[in-house]
Homo-oligomer: A and B are copies of this chain.
Amino acid sequence: MILGIDIGGTSSKFGLVDDGRVIARARIATTGHANDHAFADALAQEARQLAAAHGSAITSVGIGAPNANQLTGIIEMAPNLPWKHDVPLARMLSDRLSAPATLGNDANAAALGEWRYGAGRGIADLLVVTLGTGVGSGFIVNDRLVLGSAGNAGEVGHMTLIPGGRSCTCGRRGCVEAYVSIRGMLATYTEEGGTANVNDVKGLADLAHANDPAARRVFARSAEWLAIALANAVCTTGPRRIVLFGGIARNGDLLMAPLRDHFHASLLNIYQGRVDLTVSALPDDDAALLGAAALGTI
C-alpha cells in the first residue's frame, strides 16, 4: 500500500493508495508543531494509525510539497511552509515509517499522477502543466520524469513569453505565469477594462458567462498566450500529449475551445497532428494524493 502525502501551507493531506484509488484519507495541520521533527512525528503516527485501521502495511511513501528537490529529498526553504530552513522530509519520514520515501515538487507529482493514473497513462512522452496560483509543469521523457541536473527541471511557468512584459513574482519580466495564472488572468481583466469585483477564476468565468466583455476577452487572450507557451514547450521534448491540470483548465470551453484553435495555429508544422491537448480527469479531491503516491512508485 502506498502512502501519498500532499504537504500544504496550512494542512497536509495523506491517503492510502491502491491501484490508482485513494482508499482512505486523513489530514493534519502543517502549522502549530514545535518544529519540523514534531511535524514528522505527528504525520507518521497518524499515517500508521490510518494504515492499521485498514489492516494495511505502508510499503512506500510519496510526498508532494512546494520547493521540494527530488534529487536530494529536501524541501528547500519553502516560503509558504512554517520552516524557514531545509527540511530533509524524505529521510525523516522514511526513518519513521520504515519504508522508502520519495519527495517531489507539486507539479512533478501532478505530472507523475497523470502519467500513472490519469489522462497521461501509457504516454511515454508527456507534458503536464498545472494552472493555478502559479504555473507549474512536469516533463516525462521515455517514461521517466525529467528532473534536470539540479533537480529543478520543468519550469514552463517561468519561460519568457513577452520579453520586457509584465513583472513576475520571480523578479523577472514577461513570464508565462504572469499571464496565464490566476493572478495573471485577473491582471488581464483589469488591463481589458474590467470593472467588476472579482478575485478568482470562477468569478471570471461567471462574468464571462454573463457576457461581461472584458471577462470574455480574458479567456480569449489567455488562450492565445497559453497556446504559444505550450507550442514552445513542445519544441523541446516533443511530447505526444499535454495534460492541463487545475481550476483554470476546468472552466468548460471558455478556455479550452479557443486554446485548441490557437495551439493548432501556434504549433510548428512537424508537430501538427502529433500532440494532443487534454484536461486532467482525476477527481479534484484526490489528484494531489494520487500524484504524491505516484512519486512513491518510482
Taking the nearest CB of chain B, how far is it from the CB of A270, in angstroms? 5
- Mostly helix, strand, loop or mixed at chain A's interface? loop
Taking the nearest CB of chain B, how far is it from the CB of A138, in angstroms? 11
Which residue from chain B places its CB closest to the CB of A162 in the assembled complex? B163
This chain: copies in complex: 2
With A158-B268, A161-B163, A266-B172: A149-B232 Cβ-Cβ less than 8 Å: no
- Is A152 part of the contact surface with B, judged by Cβ < 8 Å? yes
- Is A153 part of the contact surface with B, judged by Cβ < 8 Å? yes
**Chain B residue contacts of A239, Cβ below 8 A:** 148-149
CA gap between A270 and B150 in the complex, in Å: 9
1/0 contact string of A119-161 vs chain B (CB within 8 Å): 0000111000000000000010110101111111111101111
1/0 contact string of A230-241 vs chain B (CB within 8 Å): 011101111110
Residue A237 contacts which of B153, B228, B269 (CB distance < 8 angstroms)? B153
CA gap between A113 and B132 in the complex, in Å: 40
Contact yes or no, A238 B146, CB < 8 A: yes
CA gap between A154 and B142 in the complex, in Å: 15
Which residue from chain B places its CB closest to the CB of A238 in the assembled complex? B148
Which residue from chain B places its CB closest to the CB of A174 in the assembled complex? B228
Q: List 18 A-B contacts (CB under 8 A).
A: A125-B149, A139-B236, A139-B237, A141-B237, A142-B144, A148-B238, A149-B238, A149-B239, A149-B240, A150-B240, A150-B271, A150-B274, A151-B238, A155-B236, A155-B268, A156-B235, A159-B236, A163-B228
